[in-house]
Chains A and B, each alone.
Chain A
Amino acid sequence: MKKSTLIIIGVIYIASIVIISVFGLVPKIYRKVYPVTKIECLNETDEKTIVRKNGDEFTIIVKFTEPANANDMSGTILQLRWRVYPDNATDNNVQFIYDKTRKNFQFVQDESGRELGTVLFFAPATFNLTILAADGSGVKFNLLIRAIRI
């Protein structure tokens, strides 16, 4: 049997599980609302950032090299990574609360206006950020972000 034939059969094999999951499952009405109980920031120290955890204090230090460019997404950029608990929370979206009057950094938004956790730094900056659960549970995660020349 040719490799391409095997691949196609493999694709149909896996696709069958997905198709049956979409069209053949018994509909379940999830009446119970699962609120967010915890938000965790997953960023770790790498070549661009230093992450410091000191009890409740969570600080991300970004090495500022050159001003960010929103057109080609180059320059000093921080990508926040987070996780919402529990995994089956009814609404696992988050909002980013920060001082929007500041001009030396900017949060990237997608076409629908949703912030993606990507921060563009136009100049060195220090600010407090709160990652807030969007389901109204009030659960949040506070961190300090500092973009400095090292």
Chain B
Amino acid sequence: MRALKTLVMMQLKDKIDMSFLSSWKKALFKTIFWLIKFALITAIIYLALYVLSYLRVVSILPGIPQNFMVCVFTLMLLLSLFVCTVGMSRSLYFAKDNQVLLTLPASRTEIFTSKIIVYYIYELIRNVTYFLPLFLVYGYLNSQPFYYYIWVLVGTGILTAVPVVLGAFLSIPMMFVISFLKQHKWFAYSLLTILSVGIVVLVIWVVYKIPAKFDLFANWQTTFWKIQDFMNEFGKICLPFTWLFVMVTGTRYGISNIMFDSKQFIYLFSTLGVIVVAFAAAFLIVRPLYFKMASSPFEYKRVKVKPKRNKQSKPAKSVLKKELLLLYRTPNKMFSLLAVVIFLPIAIFMLNKFYMAMDITLLGKYLQIMFNVLIILLIVTATNASIAQIYSEEGASAYLIKTNPQTYVKQLSLKLVINAVLVSLSIIATTIVFGKFYKFSGLVIFELFLFIEFVYLSHLLWSAEMDFMNPQNRQYQTTGQHINNPNSLKSTLTSFVLSAIFAFLTFFLIGEGERMVFVRISIFAALFLLLRIWLYVNKIKVYYKEKQ
């Protein structure tokens, strides 16, 4: 048991920042911070569900109906199951720490069990943060008795085990899929391209389904019953999820709540049975496979690499080539960036299709333009959260910057070029889509593009500056990732603030005409960009001189 506990704590430290355990002050701060986060999430969920209940959007009766919550719960649990399956596959079969764990003085069963426990704890923390507030608010709005809140804590614990053990069981086919895709990269990229094209086609098809004229309030009753029919059908199709939901919250019948009836107990024991059977199956089938995979010696594995001629390139071209290679070899980053680049114009197209279906006043038109600007800026500046860790990601290799035969400013700026180019292309497409809907002239579209581009570039440089002024190299050096990078958080917060400021400016100045508003805001954005360029260049000069 002691070995199991040690194994669990060792692996937990990789997933969760446990540094707060070293001092009571840090632990207190962490606890308060977590409580504030929990309270904030609960408050947001309460506000959303209260509005739905007050306006009778999802039910003609007061409170929140069960069928609506089943829809939300199903989507969240499916996502959790998918994440658990992929995560368990990686953790069990592809994690580099497996070979190290096998050398420790612990039995193989203890090592395998520790992996499952670590995942359970990680999922429990996530579920307590997101699922539990949902259940608590549902109970409060539906006037549940006090014992509901006690049971929900137990129910959340049981519910957490479901995706974990099912994920462990489903990790076997997932492992084969991941292995196949790793060995046949061309197939992986082709599949991804086909999926992306499919999703784009589906989204465009949905967008064309939006009616030409759409009056939410006039057609509300019809829409309400369509929502009711959808939720009822959904509950019937996703029956196991309905049973799981009833297991945790009891049955909501009209405005009455039924807890601890025979139905709930049947679902509870069935769930426990499924957990036991899935765990037993994982133990019997997954465990031997896990050891076989974990025992494969990686130190002596020879990967055949085709020798390539070493070509000499200019320094700038070398840096760009290296960045492209790094991006290509980090699929998560590449697909995340490409997803934003491709979906931004589609998202704005879909949004404006909704807007054009409304019969609006002049105020409505101004609000539409403001929201377009806000959403475009939010999306493009939010991508800079990855820029706020671009230098620290190099970890211990950051010193190589001193060996490059060019200035620091040039080297550091070149790392930003790929992101800037790709997102700028997306901004061009987006501003054309936006401008066409509102019948802006070519000149106004160009001014709009300049405005958004300047804001994006300013924030890009600002995020990069956050990284080299507060480097997090050590975290990336040891673990390869940084769960709560303060620079990424700061970059995200500033992106929201900046987007809000420029969106409000647009709204307040739009009364003077589209031409004037974008000229003025572009000038303001250009001045802001010049300021950020000046700060970026000078801070590099100061920082790297200090580092010397």
Contact = CB atoms under 8 A, between A and B. Distances in A.
Interface of A: 1-2, 5, 8-9, 12-13, 16-21, 23-26, 28, 30, 47-48, 72-74, 77, 79, 83, 87-89, 92, 108, 110, 116-118
Contacts of B225: 83, 87
24 contacts: A1-B382, A2-B492, A5-B385, A12-B375, A16-B375, A18-B216, A20-B364, A24-B363, A24-B364, A24-B368, A25-B358, A26-B359, A26-B360, A26-B364, A30-B218, A73-B256, A79-B256, A87-B221, A87-B224, A87-B225, A116-B61, A118-B61, A118-B254, A118-B256
Given A9-B375, A12-B371, A87-B224, 14 more contacts: A9-B378, A13-B375, A23-B364, A24-B364, A25-B360, A25-B364, A26-B359, A48-B253, A79-B256, A87-B222, A88-B218, A108-B255, A116-B62, A116-B255
B368 A20 contact: yes
Interface in B334-351: 336, 340, 347, 351
Given A24-B360, A24-B364, A25-B358, A77 B253 contact: yes
Interface centre among A9, A20, A72, A74 (most CB of B within 10 A): A20
A72 B146 CA distance: 11
A9 B256 contact: no
Nearest 6 interchain pairs by C-beta: A24-B364, A79-B254, A87-B221, A73-B256, A16-B371, A87-B222
B442 interface: no
A8 B379 CA distance: 11
Nearest to B143: A73
B217 interface: yes
Given A72-B145, A87-B225, A20 B360 contact: yes
Interface in B248-270: 253-258, 263
A2 B375 CA distance: 16
Given A77-B253, A87-B221, A89-B221, A21 B358 contact: yes
A28 B218 CA distance: 9
Nearest to A19: B367
A interface, over-half SS: mixed
Contacts of A8: 496
Q: What band does the interface of chain B fall in when counting residues whose beta carbon is under 8 Å from A? A: 35 or more
Given A19-B367, A24-B365, A88-B222, A73 B358 contact: no
A84 to B, nearest CB: 8
B241 interface: no
B355 interface: yes
Contacts of A9: 375, 378-379, 382
A110 to B, nearest CB: 6
Contacts of B492: 2, 5
Interface centre among B219, B256, B367, B496 (most CB of A within 10 A): B256
A65 B250 CA distance: 18
Contact of B254 (A12, A28, A117): A117
Contacts of B218: 28, 30, 88
Interface of B: 61-62, 145, 215-219, 221-222, 224-225, 253-258, 263, 336, 340, 347, 351, 354-355, 358-361, 363-365, 367-368, 371, 374-375, 378-379, 382-383, 385-386, 488, 492, 496
B142 to A, nearest CB: 10
B428 to A, nearest CB: 20
B253 A12 contact: no
A77 B254 contact: yes
A12 B7 CA distance: 43
Given A77-B256, A88-B221, A92-B221, A24 B382 contact: no
A107 B359 CA distance: 43
A80 to B, nearest CB: 8
A19 B351 CA distance: 13
Given A48-B253, A116-B61, A116-B255, A24 B217 contact: no
Nearest to A30: B218
A20 B270 CA distance: 47
Nearest to B41: A4
Contacts of B62: 110, 116
B255 A118 contact: yes
A9 B375 CA distance: 7
A77 B61 CA distance: 15
A43 to B, nearest CB: 11
Contacts of B368: 20, 24
B384 to A, nearest CB: 10
B133 to A, nearest CB: 14
A25 B361 contact: yes
Nearest to A26: B359
A48 B263 CA distance: 12
Contacts of A79: 61, 253-256
Contact of B358 (A5, A20, A108): A20
Nearest to A46: B253
A30 B217 CA distance: 12
